[in-house]
Structure 1
Amino acid sequence: MIRRPTRLLTTAVAGTTAVLLLTGCGGGDGGGSKANDKIAGADTNTKTPTSPTPSATAAGRPQIELPSDLTYTFEWPKTGDKDKDAVLYDSQQFIKAVDMAIAEQKPLDAGYRFYSEGEAAAGSQKFIQEFVDYKDRITGVRRFYAAKVQVNDGGTASLVYCEDQNKAYNKSLKTGKTEVTSQSKDNYVVYSSRLRVNKQGIWVTEKLASQRGSSVCQP
């Protein structure tokens, strides 16, 4: 279980949205003081790729490099809808980019800021900073499932999904030791996000909320 923090960002509507979309679905997230002087998401002029297709090699996308002991399972089958699949792909990249910033101990890393803006970027910065403060990173397996995506008029989308953190742990960068925790209902987390497609066709996350121990994500 990833212990710190329990939430990336809190929004008033997140809990209700998650319950409505996921009820009944079963199981099967070195900058020091200098980094704190800036707020992630404030600069929206970052150069972005021209291709809207979800391709890992699209020009301008940041290269995401993660520790070999951190892996992912995304049980998010393609929907066949171009926009929905792009939302899912870019959300995956955002998750990985945040973990890369944690591993590299960079609260203002450009990777996650490429895939997020506003409240989501600011919340991710705080999330990353806590790991930096504790000199920890994430190891193990992060499993994501039960994704529900809705693309709206006007270039916005909503995404709700579950995570099983039973095999994801904190690893100390000071000692190299992994804090292995036992399985628990608190290891199941539901997320609710709001995204917007930018001019370059990237679905950036603007708002993100999470609830630990959610019954809608229990197996």
Structure 2
Amino acid sequence: MNRRPTLLAALALTATAALTLTACGSDDDSPSKDSDKIAGADTRGEKPASPTASASTPAGRPKIEVPSDVTYKFEWKKTGDPDKDAVLNDAEQRIKAVDMAIAEQDPLHDAYLFYSEGTAAAGSQKYIQEFVDHKARTTGLTRYYNESVTIKDGGTAALLYCEDQSKAFNKFLETGKTDVTPVTKDSYVIYAGTLRKNKSGVWVTERLTSQRGSAKCQP
């Protein structure tokens, strides 16, 4: 999840509303036509999955906890450059924080706002709100790969990476039903982000755009 920056498009499917998201929390406002991660509405009771916390939480940073059925595979490699590795770490935390906000149904969750500002934060808020409106969240495994980090002058950085949503789905909160959708080229998303190192030493994402079906991300 940072899960997933982003807009969800509503599709009428019999008696149930299913959602489509363009990318996990980006400020890209072009809706996708294929279902990916998260959304839907219905109403009965889902047993909450036990939360999974991040391995360690440095002082002053929010503790990230997501349901145990929300998992990640970050194939991002250590670069040996302290700034580049910090960019990758803080981007990872932002992604997880967005999924945490979705799971807790809080569009203004402090955790993702700790790691994002500007249009990236606004895009994530809109993305999370769609899940809240449809009483849904993410479930399954999301993979991140093909990363590229460039440190720029003035304490900023550019981050490019791919997301594999082929094993991540939308889950109805009140029924526990998972909307398992077929894998297509649009299950693979490319992200381009701009980050800035703030006074606390956190690499905050200020802008994040996405594109589905990118040739650079296909398996």
Secondary structure of the corresponding residue to residue 66 of structure 1: strand
Matched, 1:9 2:63: no
Corresponding residue number in structure 1 for 2:146: 146
What is the identity percentage for the equivalent residue pairs of Structure 1 and Structure 2?
Answer: 64
Equivalence map 1:120-139=2 (5 Å)? 120-139=120-139
Cα displacement (A) at 1:87: 0.0
Contact preservation (8 Å) 1:186, 1:212: yes
Corresponding residue number in structure 2 for 1:113: 113
RMSD across aligned C-alpha pairs, in angstroms?
1.7
Equivalence map 1:169-188=2 (5 Å)? 169-188=169-188
Distance 1:169 1:207 in 2: 25
Stretches of structure 1 lacking an aligned partner (at least 5 in a row): 12-28, 30-54
Cα displacement (A) at 1:10: 2.5
- How many residues matched? 177
Secondary structure of the corresponding residue to residue 21 of structure 2: coil
Stretches of structure 2 lacking an aligned partner (at least 5 in a row): 5-18, 30-36, 38-54
Secondary structure of the corresponding residue to residue 108 of structure 2: coil
Equivalence map 1:19-168=2 (5 Å)? 56-168=56-168
Distance 2:155 2:56 in 1: 22
Distance 2:156 2:74 in 1: 22
Cα displacement (A) at 1:88: 0.0
Query: For each residue in 1:36-59, what CA deviation from the matched residue of structure 2 results, as whole angstroms up to 9, or x when unmatched?
Result: xxxxxxxxxxxxxxxxxxx94311
Contact preservation (8 Å) 1:4, 1:131: no
Q: TM-score, normalised by structure 2?
A: 0.78
Equivalence map 1:188-199=2 (5 Å)? 188-199=188-199
Query: For each residue in 1:150-189, what CA deviation from the matched residue of structure 2 results, as whole angstroms up to 9, or x when unmatched?
Result: 0111100000000110000000002100001111111000
More strand by share: 2
| Structure with more relative contact order (C-alpha pairs < 8 Å, separation 6 or more) | 1
Distance 2:138 2:178 in 1: 9
Cα displacement (A) at 1:216: 1.2
Q: Which moved more, 1:207-216 or 1:82-91?
A: 207-216
Corresponding residue number in structure 1 for 2:14: none
Corresponding residue number in structure 1 for 2:13: none
